[in-house]
Structure 1
Amino acid sequence: MACRITELVLDCADPRRMGEFWCEVLGYVELGWDGEDLEIGPPAGFGGPQPTLILSRSADPKPAKLPLHLDVNPTDRNQDAELERLLAAGARPADVGQTGEESWHVLADPEGNVFCLLRRRVDPITVDGP
């Protein structure tokens, strides 16, 4: 047997705003609140093929280039169109020392957490219904 990543936790100052942003980016929905922490995930909920994201309120979030960051790929458009969509949703370009020759874009979410938009288009995850 092996383990599987089921949740990712991101410390943030404003879970509601971050939830809105990441729901827009990932096509996720709000799954529920546990105190001041918001869980978002795919419409199928926890336990499916995609991990949920816990946005944990913190008085001292550490934005910037984290030791671990998210990479996202477009599913229904090319990289340029997806970049426009993410920027309109509140992402902004981030500089972590890239050369400008990379095939990906380095972005920051509304609280400054760095993530990358990769070039390759991937198929969306579909979950068989009942």
Structure 2
Amino acid sequence: MSCRISELVLNCADPELLAAFWSDVLGYVELDREDGAIEIGPPEGFGGLQPTLILSPSTDPRTGRLPLHIDVNPVDRDQDAELERLLALGARPADVGQTGSESWHVLADPEGNEFCLLRRRLDAS
């Protein structure tokens, strides 16, 4: 027997803002709301191959370099075009000591949570 990641929880100051941002980034939809938290996930819902993301309200969310961060890959465009799209959605470049020769971009979401845009394009399905 083994486990599979089904949900990721991100404590945040503004669940509405981050739910909208991450839904746009990942092509997710709102699945549920409970006690101020918003769960977003793939249109087919909970339990598929992709984990859902729960944006949980917190009065003291950690931001910046978290012990665990999200990596994303483009699915329908190259890395440069996806970088432009993410920046237009509200992501911003983050400096974590990169050398400039990396094949990925380090970004921050609207609350400052760092994530990486990787180069390899993945199949959307």
Q: How would you bin the TM-score normalised by the shorter chain?
A: over 0.9
Equivalent residues, number: 125
Residue 10 in structure 1 maps to residue 3 in structure 2: no
**How far is the alpha carbon of 1:52 from its aligned partner?**
0.2
* Residue aligned with 1:124, SS: coil
Q: Which runs of 4+ in 1 moved over 6 A?
A: none
User: 1:60, 1:106 → 2: CA distance?
Assistant: 23
Structure 2 residue identity aligned to 1:8: L
What TM-score do the two structures reach when normalised by structure 1? Answer: 0.95
* Structure 1 residue ranges without an equivalent (≥5): 126-130
- Structure 1 match to 2:89: 89
- Structure 2 match to 1:128: none
Structure 2 residue identity aligned to 1:30: E
User: 2:98, 2:72 → 1: CA distance?
Assistant: 17
- Structure 2 match to 1:109: 109
**How far is the alpha carbon of 1:35 from its aligned partner?**
1.2
What TM-score do the two structures reach when normalised by structure 2? Answer: 0.99
User: 1:22, 1:36 → 2: CA distance?
Assistant: 17
* Structure 2 residue ranges without an equivalent (≥5): none
**How far is the alpha carbon of 1:87 from its aligned partner?**
0.2
Residue 33 in structure 1 maps to residue 25 in structure 2: no
User: 1:41, 1:96 → 2: CA distance?
Assistant: 28
Q: CA RMSD in A?
A: 0.5
**How far is the alpha carbon of 1:71 from its aligned partner?**
0.4
